[in-house]
Amino acid sequence: MLESLFLKFLPSLDPMTSAMVMLLGMPLLGFVIQIFIGKRLFRGGDWVSVGTIFVSFALSVLLFIDLLSSGPQFQWTTSWTWIDLPHFQLTMGILVDPVTILMLLVITTVSFLVFLYSIGYMHEDPRYSRYFAYLSFFSFSMIGLVLADNLFALYIFWELVGLASYLLISFWFEKPEAAEAGKKAFIVTRIGDVGMFIGILIIFFETNGLLHFDSIFSYVAKGQFGGEFLGISLLTLAGICIFLGAVGKSAQFPLHIWLPDAMEGPTPVSALIHAATMVAAGVYLVTRMFPFFTPEARTVIAYTGSFTAIFAATMALTHNDIKKVLAYSTISQLGIMMMGLGVGAYVAGFFHLVTHAAFKACLFLCAGSVIHALHTQDMREMGGIRKKMPITFTTMGVATLALSGIPFFSGFVSKDLILGESLSFAMENPSHFLIPLFGFLSTGLTAFYMFRLIFMTFYGEPRDSKKFDHAHESPWVMTLPLIILSLCSLAIFFTGSPLGLGELSLWGEKSQWVKYLLEPPSSSEHPTSAHLYALILSLTMAGCGILFAYLIYYKQTLSSEKIAEKFKCIYKTLTHLYWIDELYEWAVIHNLLRLNTLLAHFDNRVIDQVLVDGWAPITISTSTNSGDFDNRAIDQMLVDGTGKVVRASGKEVRKIQTGKIQQYLLVGLGAVCGILILLTLV
Amino acid sequence: MSLPEFLKDLFESWPLLGSIPLWLYSLACILGLLFLFLFPFAGIAVYLERKIAGDIQARIGPNVVGPYGILQWIADALKLLLKEDIIPAAADKKLFILSPMLIFLGGAAAYAVIPFAENVILANLNIGIFYLIAVTSMVALGLILGGWASNNKWSLLGGMRAAAQIVSFEIPVALCILTAVLVTGTLDMTQIIKNQSPYSWNIFHNPFMFIAACVYYIAALAEANRTPFDIPEADSELVSGYNTEYSGMRFAIFFLIEYAECFVICAVATTLFLGGWYLPFIDISGLALGLRIPIEAMVFMTKAVCLLFVMMWIRWTLPRYRVDQLMKLCWEVLVPFSFACLLGTAFWMALFKGKGIPELIYSLLGWGS
Amino acid sequence: MMFAVDLRHYLVLSAILFVLGIIGILSRKNSVGILMGIELVMNSAGINFVAFSKYVAADLSGQIFALFIFVIAASEVVIALAIILRIYQNKTTVDIEDIKDLKC
Amino acid sequence: MTAQDVFFYIFALITLVPAFVCVFHPNILYAGLSLFGSFFGVAGIYVLLGADFIAATQVLIYVGGILVLILFAVMLSKNIYGAKFQDEKKKKILPGLLGLILLGFLVKFILTTPWNMTLTDEAPLPTVSRLGDLLLTDYLLPFELASILLLAALIGAIILARSK
């Protein structure tokens, strides 16, 4: 469908290439137009950005329809040489396979809806068109990231995405917190990226310059990837290094600290970048490189993921900032995905990425809608706005149920798959029992803090009547994305069966499209016998979480203050986020400064005063002597003597130069004639 | 096939005419074009101009000589022929005489490659349009000489202005012509028309061609020193510019060539952009040659005369530009636009394999070519 | 058959044109006149190129070089005339004999 | 003598006589004007050599451009009202003599060199497309350099001629 369309309109170009270039280029076009002339356009040019991203969105949908009809074996790739050196060639290319197309679909859908939403959310902002320029730039980079067919291209777009994230987090740079948060996000992710770059370099040197995904995998599959470093095989080390990049970008422990601060950016940005797409890039990277990871590396991934899941979930319990709660929830869910990939649940991990993108974007946009109405982010100042904002309430409720893993909703389907696989993984390797344990606990905590959020925001009495009176439902450009995203959070959208369970489905195999399209790499076959236990366990955990939230924040039969008082130590730890920031401050920054002072002292005392200054007397005496020689012998005899000779001869020769160009030419012509005559005579 | 060759072919079997050599046919064609087309056409154009000016200014215009003043142009021509030929005493006599000749040469030489109909073209050069650009640039030389030779400051200023203007505006003109050549892929005037068709004129080939056509028309107006770009002969500043001192027959030549050049511009625009002798949507290529040639010639002339009418309309509607405004218009508006058109058309040709908008629409509708 | 035209006739023609141009360059006092001489020399070079392109090389590279000569001639004349105009504005003369400021 | 030979001599005359006038006429304006004939004659020579495109370019650039510019310069750089453009009678003997010697040698070389003439009698005409192909393939670099040269000349001329 896509190909025939392009063949008709652009007959001279390869249809798939032009489609991909257009898909990638439209947001870039939007960015260029917006950044240069956006301000002068009608309505600040928002229609340019929305229009361009809509084209990309439409192309992705067409591509997806093509993919559904051609099946999971679909793969299209093209590449061209970028740098051509004698011993190696760097190519740039496009790889389109089911993973790419699913990512494209997620990115362009959420982007389009967020762009639409932003029209309403940002309409009073003085830098309206620049905001859209940045958003377009982000979409361009993200699409480029998933289209890249080699690690190097992916790395370039990986950094561009980071840049876009930085620009958008510190979009309101007048606020010092926003500027700080942007810097923090940029620097912390950079730590992970350095790891990733080291990983790429290891691969590059080990494989003699292979950077293409397919060629790396076949190289690894042939067992040629040898080498050890300090007793660890280089393959594992490279895998962990690559994973470090994902840790940074997907905010896994211990580099998770930037994501909550990133909530200083505009809320649609949080929805797009810090919930649905960019932070999922880490998960995408692990998915893309999946065959590359050794079992050891996978175990590291699984532990990191599961620990992050429970760790972030606990931190979300005590926060009162609506966006930060969602941010911690995002970290926790990303941890779940990583855990799934780590235990080998390739399909489930990626599936959760897709479902999570929909419902988490929805949650953020709902939160944005609430913030837009109440002009506060503090949940303690909200409450009781259920009736005033029915659409926001309903959609947010749907997304919350999806996040909590309740049947009939999408989160249930994907999360349950992951938990089941992790359980069966632990049953095979009982020593790794902590992984599923963390996973199930975080499920319960997730349900608890999400319902806490719902109850505090929408139920009860309004705590701030002034803000409450101003509250109103948002305009249609904001509610329409909410409705669409909440529809996408229903299980039926992903499975074809309303409950989201079992093999029952309305449209056959293809209705479970994510599962249908993804082919797990052969190395990750797992018996899924543990699903039923996992189902019961996770539902119990979620039920408990919801029950506690109901008792504490709705019925208020249990007082939250009393609980906090009772577990004061834990409560304090949680509100201080485990003192991680303080730890970094002390361990890294403080000690670094001390070391710097020490080095400066060394520099000053030893190098400057002893080494450098010590040279001076020696130099002075030498130069005095050589200066004498210079003056007497060279200057007065050689140099001045030459000058005198030249001046004397110049005085005579000068007379030839008359300044009359014709005379010169005449002499030249005469010389030519003279030479000719001489030649004929000889 | 050019007109002399065509005629020779036609009369090959005739007893007397068949033995005439080709060069005699050529001579006859040249003379015929001059006396039967160029001179009367210029006269009629003057009459038309005066009538249209009258209409626009709510006057009647010439109405005494003949019915509706139709014979006015003959009277004018006779008057100019019979007037005393004055050469100012201080003028440089040789150059004063040479200048109208040069102008006439440049103006009339362009007619060699104007394709009135299939086979009705004096010389079927394969660099036709390029030849046309080259010879029309000679007019500038004649004007500057005329201005100089008159030994009169208004004449000199007018001549210099004319030369500067023509040299400058030649650039956008040539670039727009190049744009059209890019689309048709040939410099041959007949081929340029034949590469179009009743269904796809060049002007609709792509959006840039449309802009190029407009830019060409404006720049060509300036190249012919027509209002609103007639600053070389701006009568309120320079009396009458380079032809102030001329009278009688020599003045008539200046006058004649001005109208001849206007027609050349319109004919070139017709050829390059408006499909030449093709009727819109009516394909007459099936008709016999004898029937087709008159129809084609009529279609071509109609299109050209319509453009000529627009020229006169503009002349009597718009005020005159200032010199600095004129140069600004050329270098800051027309030249960038024509470059943009050239580039845009080049991209279009690469992107759509040379297909124009009409062809794309027809192929989408499945009508074939 | 001395009058049957071949390559040599063209070359002699261009040689005459060349020498005329040289004489012009050497003898004109007016710097615009010198420029005219240069144009003649350039034209003679063009004739040579095109003639060789027809008679010796039998391809079009000579004509290409003639085109490049046009380009060079155009840029040369533009720059030279601009310089001459500037000199005229500064010294109110274009006489080559008076333009000898480079002499120390 | 064929018709082509006759045309050659005609064009040679059209070229050389004005060139002679251009060099030796005392009035600089007349000298410039006579260039017109010379350029035209060279264009005719080009036509005889089968280079129709070059001929048209010659007319376009030399007559329409360079000559007009030269006349402009002549008029702008002299007191144009009344003054005669008398080029001071100057010794032209030495340059003329040297030129004649040079010409003699040139003619001698031309006539004595055994030219390796490979005249092909192919139809000379459609040169335009072949020239275009050559310019954009084999001669692409010179072509680009020429365009840079023209741009530089354009900017240089504007800066030089701009009134301060």
> Could you report the per-residue pLDDT of B203-212, keeping only the tens digit for each?
888 888 999 9
Q: Is the pLDDT of residue A505 over 60?
A: no
For residues A35 and B94, give the distance between their C-alpha atoms in angstroms, rounded to a whole number.
64
pTM: 0.60
Structure tokens at D113: 């060199």
User: What is the pLDDT at residue D92?
Assistant: 72
Nearest Cα neighbor of B335 from B157, B172, B156 is B172
C20–D22 C-beta distance less than 8 A: yes
Q: CB A660 to CB C26 under 8 A?
A: no
Phi, psi dihedrals of residue A472, rounded to the nearest 5°: -155, 160
Residue of higher predicted confidence among A660 and C15 = C15
Instruction: Give CA separation, B185 vs B200, B215, B255, in Å.
Output: 15, 20, 35
Judge: B167–D126 Cβ closer than 8 Å, yes or no. Answer: no
Straight-line distance from the first to the last Cα atom of chain C, in angstroms, rounded to the nearest whole number? 58
Instruction: Give the position of tokens 């000679």.
Output: B138
pLDDT at position D81? 44
Q: Give tens-digit pLDDT for D91-120.
A: 677 888 888 888 888 888 888 888 777 665
Looking at every residue in chain D, the average pLDDT score rounds to 81
D42 in any annotated domain: yes
Indicate if the pLDDT at residue C59 is higher than 50.
yes
Determine the pLDDT at residue D80: 47
Instruction: Name A137's Cβ contacts closer than 8 Å, sequence gap at least 6.
Output: A27, A28, A31, A35, A160, A164, A167
Residue A446, number of CB atoms within 10 A of its CB? 28
Domain residue ranges in chain B: 83-365
| Whether the Cβ atoms of residue A582 and residue A488 lie closer than 8 Å to each other | no
Q: Is D91 found in the same domain as D139?
A: no
Which phi and psi (to 5°) does residue A496 adopt?
85, -15
- pLDDT band for position A508 (cuts 50, 70, 90): low
Q: Could you read off the pLDDT of B33-47 as tens digits, one per residue?
A: 888 888 888 888 888
* Residue B82 banded pLDDT, cuts 50, 70, 90: confident
For residue D83, the chain B residue with the least C-alpha distance is B151
Question: Which tokens is C48 given?
Answer: 């040579």
Q: Which domain holds residue D84?
A: 1-99
**Quick one: closest CA in C to D111, which residue?**
C8
Range among A112-126, A212-226, A460-474 with highest mean pLDDT value: A112-126
Which of the two residues, A502 and B183, has the higher pLDDT score? B183
The number of residues making up chain A comes to 682
How many pairs of residues across B and D have Cβ atoms under 8 Å apart? Answer: 64
Kindly state whether residue D27 falls inside one of the protein's structural domains: yes
pLDDT for res C69: 92
Indicate whether A522 pLDDT > 60. Answer: no
Say yes or no for a CB contact (<8 Å) between D71 and B141: yes
Which C residues, 77 through 96, put their C-beta within 8 Å of a C-beta on chain A? 96
Between positions 245 and 274 of B, the ones with CB within 8 A of D are: none
pLDDT at B338: 92
User: Which pLDDT band, with edges at 50, 70 and 90, does A203 fall under?
Assistant: confident
What average pLDDT score do residues A323-345 get? 88
* CA A371 to the chain's CA centroid: 25
Contact A669 C26 (CB under 8 A): yes
Confidence of residue C42 (pLDDT cuts 50, 70, 90): very high
Mean pLDDT of all residues in B135-140: 84
**The pLDDT of residue A500 is above 70:** no
Domain edges within chain C: 29-97
The pLDDT tens digits for C4-38 are 778 888 899 999 999 999 988 888 878 888 888 99
Q: Which chain C residues are within 8 Å of A660, Cβ to Cβ?
A: 96-97, 100
In terms of domains, do D89 and D136 share one? Answer: no
Q: What percent of chain A has pLDDT over 90?
A: 5
User: Does any CB of chain A come closer than 8 Å to the CB of residue C36?
Assistant: no
Asked if residue C33 lies in contact with residue D31, where contact means CB atoms within 8 angstroms, the answer is yes
Q: Using one digit for the tens of pLDDT, what is the confidence trace for A548-558? A: 888 887 777 76
Would you call A80 helix, strand, or coil by DSSP?
strand
Tell me which of B356 and D77 has the higher pLDDT.
B356
Q: Do B134 and D53 touch (CB under 8 A)?
A: no
DSSP per-residue codes, C53-104: IIIII-SSHHHHHHHHHHHHHHHHHHHHHHHHHHHHHHHS--BTTT--TT--
**SS3 track for A196-243:** HHHHHHHHHHHCCCCCEHHHHHHHHHCCCCCCEECCEEHHHHHHHHHH
How large is the average pLDDT for residues D12-38? 86
SS3 call for C30: strand
Which of D32, D72, D156 has the CB atom closest to C36's CB atom? Answer: D32
CA distances from B271 to A587, A662, B187, B203, B219 (A): 81, 52, 11, 10, 17
Mean of per-residue pLDDT scores for chain B: 84
Contacts of B361 (CB under 8 A, 6+ apart): none
Segment A151-158 long-range contacts (CB within 8 Å, at least 24 positions apart): A151/A200, A151/A203, A151/A211, A151/A213, A151/A216, A152/A90, A152/A200, A152/A211, A153/A92, A153/A93, A154/A285, A154/A288, A155/A193, A155/A196, A155/A197, A155/A200, A158/A193, A158/A196, A158/A245, A158/A249, A158/A281, A158/A285
Q: What is the pLDDT of residues C64-77, one digit of tens each?
A: 999 999 999 999 99
In order of A44, A171, B69, the CA distances from A50 in angstroms are 12, 19, 65
Shortest Cα distance, chain D CAs vs residue A656, angstroms: 19
Q: Residue D77: left if φ>0, alpha if ψ -120 to 50, beta else—which one?
A: alpha
- In terms of domains, do D92 and D158 share one? no
Predicted confidence (pLDDT) at residue B313 exceeds the cutoff of 60:
yes
Q: Do D98 and A677 touch (CB under 8 A)?
A: no
Tokens matching residue B108: 């009339």
pLDDT value at position C102?
Answer: 64
Spatial contact of B146 and B178, defined as CB atoms under 8 Å apart: no
Contact A312, A329 (CB under 8 A): yes
Interhelix angle B248-272/B207-223, rounded to 10 degrees, is: 180
In a domain, D117, yes or no: no
pLDDT-derived band at D82, boundaries 50, 70, 90: very low
Cα(A52)–Cα(A465) distance, integer angstroms: 42
Distance CA C10, CA D12 (A): 9
Q: What is the pLDDT of residues A537-574, one digit of tens each?
A: 888 888 888 888 888 877 777 666 777 777 777 777 77
Touching chains, C (3+ CB pairs < 8 A): A, D
- Check whether C45 has a pLDDT greater than 90: yes
Please state the domain count of chain D: 2
Q: State the pairing for strand pair A228-229/A232-233.
A: antiparallel
C-alpha–C-alpha distance, residues A400 and A347, integer Å: 23
d(Cα A515, Cα A498) in Å, to the nearest integer? 16
Average pLDDT over residues A66-90: 80
- Beta bridge partner(s), residue B282: B279
Q: How many CB atoms lie within 10 A of CB C75?
A: 19
Alpha helices in A38-169 (DSSP H): 46-70, 98-121, 128-147, 151-169
Q: How do residues B211-259 score in pLDDT, each as one tens digit?
A: 999 999 999 988 888 878 887 776 777 777 777 778 778 888 888 888 8
CA distance D23 to chain A (A): 15
Whether D93 and D164 share a structural domain:
no
DSSP letter for A125, please.
-
- Shortest CA gap A673–chain C (Å): 12
Same domain for D88 and D163? no
Residue B197, beta-bridge partner list:
B200
Q: Three-class SS string for chain B? A: CCHHHHHHHHCCCCCCHHHCCHHHHHHHHHHHHHHHHHHHHHHHHHHHHHHHHHHHCCCCCCCCCCHHHCCHHHHHHHHHHHCCCCCCCCCCHHHHHHHHHHHHHHHHHHHHHCCCECCECCCCCCCHHHHHHHHHCHHHHHHHHHHHHCCCHHHHHHHHHHHHHHHHHHHHHHHHHHHHHHHHCCCCHHHHHHCCECCECHHHCCHHHHHHHHHHHHHHHHHCCCCCCCHHHCHHHHCCHHHCCCCHHHHHHHHHHHHHHHHHHHHHHHHHCCCCCCECCECCCCCCHHHHHHHHHHHHHHHHHHHHHHHHHHHCCCCCCCHHHHHHHHHHHHHHHHHHHHHHHHHHHHHCCCCCHHHHHHHHHCCCC
How far from chain centre, in Å, is Cα A514?
22
pLDDT band for position C103 (cuts 50, 70, 90): low
Fold classification of C29-97 is Helix Hairpins (1.10.287)
Q: What is the pLDDT of residue B33?
A: 83
Q: Sort A204 into a burial class: Cβ within 10 Å, 0-12 / 13-18 / 19+.
A: middle
Residues D21 and D73 in one domain: yes
Inter-chain residue contact A673 with D94, CB threshold 8 Å: no
Q: How far is CA B281 from CA A577, B117, B180, B199, B278, in A?
A: 78, 18, 21, 5, 8
Confidence of residue B175 (pLDDT cuts 50, 70, 90): very high
- What is the model's pLDDT at position D124? 56
**A677 neighbourhood in chain D, CB within 8 Å:** 101
In B, minimum Cα distance to A11 occurs at: B352
Q: Which of A374-378, C26-30, D26-30, D137-141 shows the highest mean pLDDT?
A: D137-141
Percent of chain A with pLDDT over 70: 94
Residue numbers in C near D62 (CB within 8 A)? 39, 43, 70, 73
> What pLDDT is attached to residue A558?
67
Per-residue pLDDT, D83: 46
Mean pLDDT of A355-368: 88
- DSSP designation for A150: B
Crossing angle between the packed helical segments B138-149 and D68-76, to the nearest 10 degrees: 20
- ipTM surpassing 0.85: no
Q: Is D65 exposed, middle or buried (0-12, 13-18, 19+ CB in 10 A)?
A: buried
Q: Which of A234-248, A281-295, A380-394 has the lowest mean pLDDT?
A: A380-394
Q: Which residues pair with A490 in a beta bridge?
A: A409
pLDDT at D85: 47
Q: Could you give the angle at the alpha carbon of C81 between the alpha carbons of C75 and C87, nearest 5°? A: 135
pLDDT at A137: 92
D153 shares its domain with D76: no
Q: What is the mean pLDDT of residues A258-265?
A: 85
Give residue D78's pLDDT: 64
Is D139 found in the same domain as D93? Answer: no
Q: Is the pLDDT of residue D125 over 70?
A: no
Is D75 near chain C, with CB under 8 Å?
no
Q: How many CB pairs under 8 A join A and C?
A: 24
Model confidence at B142: pLDDT above 90? no
Quick one: closest CA in A to C97, which residue? A660
pLDDT, residue A184, reads 87
| Mean pLDDT for chain A overall | 83
